[in-house]
Amino acid sequence: MRFKNSLTLKEVAAFLKASFVGDPNLTITGINEIHKIESGEIVFVDHPKYYKKALNSAADVILIDQEVDVPAGKGIIICTAPFDAFNKITRHYSPDKSWTHNTGDNFNIGENSQIYPNAIIGHNVSIGANCIIHAGAVIGDNTIIGDDVTVGPNSVIGHYAFYYKKKGERFDRMHTCGRTILEDRVEIGALSTVDRGVTGDTTIGAGTKIDNQVHVGHDTVIGKNCLFAANVGIAGCVIIKNNVTLWGQVGVVSDVTIEDNVTVLGQSGVGNDLQAGKTYFGSPCGEARTKFKELAAFKRLPSIIENL
């Protein structure tokens, strides 16, 4: 998330009522989580296991729960609860705004696009030309939709990210202030959901077609001309490149990359990166030919046991 006006390390620390180490005038242009962080931005870390990753990231400022050695040119803000401090900043500079009409503030729509009855549009939404938003669809805040896009009935584009921190017996949700981007010629089926980025973007590339009852998690980036069948579930922070096919009920865990021209057969579970141009099957999935050989061998197991 980019700030409308840049801030300084000193200003952010004062807002949080926290101490800091670094150049007081260090310029801060935005805030992001570690998966999307860029130079000039703030990131948070609240576990020693991830200190090094955060301190060596592109972030210029790190919200952290103890004083540590600070890399040259960076700054830290020392908070007892970095997660809460992160939320305090995002809620202040990108607060939720209630919906009171069928279309929110700062809504733009292109020529020949149609919004069917009972569709609801949030704030800061742009819809291109020749689009169809079917009945019952919900287009959340900060959504950008290109040209020739179809969103099916009762689908939700740009809902809150599924990102929580456990605190005692409850879970606290990270405030969602990112965007959702559907590029040109994307089609979304009925009853599908695409979560907004936490502070970055969830993106579906041009020409990608998504079936009914598919879920795409926060900050996932999907390439061009992909095809996803019904009941596919994709976790957050996944990278899926171009021309990927996921058949029915495929599940994909977070933080994996699926390279170009991959096909994953139905009911498979993707738990690791997948190499380009291959077909995969199984849970956990592997190359399809190998998995089919394993299944054939497993079928022979009872007769092998009987002959022992």
Report the catalytic residues.
218
In sequence order, the 6+-apart residues with CB closer than 8 A to the CB of 216 are: 192, 193, 194, 195, 202, 204, 210, 222, 234
- Amino acid present at 13: A
- Give me the sheet containing 187-188, strands edge to edge: 114-115, 132-133, 150-151, 187-188, 209-210, 227-228, 245-246, 263-264, 279-282, 285-287
Contacts of residue 88, defined as CB under 8 A and 6 or more positions apart, other chains included, come to: 15, 16
Give the three-class secondary structure for 70.
Answer: coil
With both helix axes pointing from N to C terminus, report the angle between 82-93 and 9-16 in degrees, rounded to the nearest 10. Answer: 110
Q: Which of 145, 116, 143, 147 is nearest to 130 (CA)?
A: 147
Q: Are 280 and 286 in contact (CB under 8 A)?
A: yes
DSSP secondary structure letters along 95-114: ------SSB-SSEEE-TT-E
- What is the H or E stretch that residue 52 is in? helix 51-55
* Torsion (CA) 204, 218, 273, 59 in degrees, nearest 10: 110
Q: Which helix (H) or strand (E) holds 41?
A: strand 41-44
**Residue from 214, 284, 282, 289 nearest 256 by CA:** 284
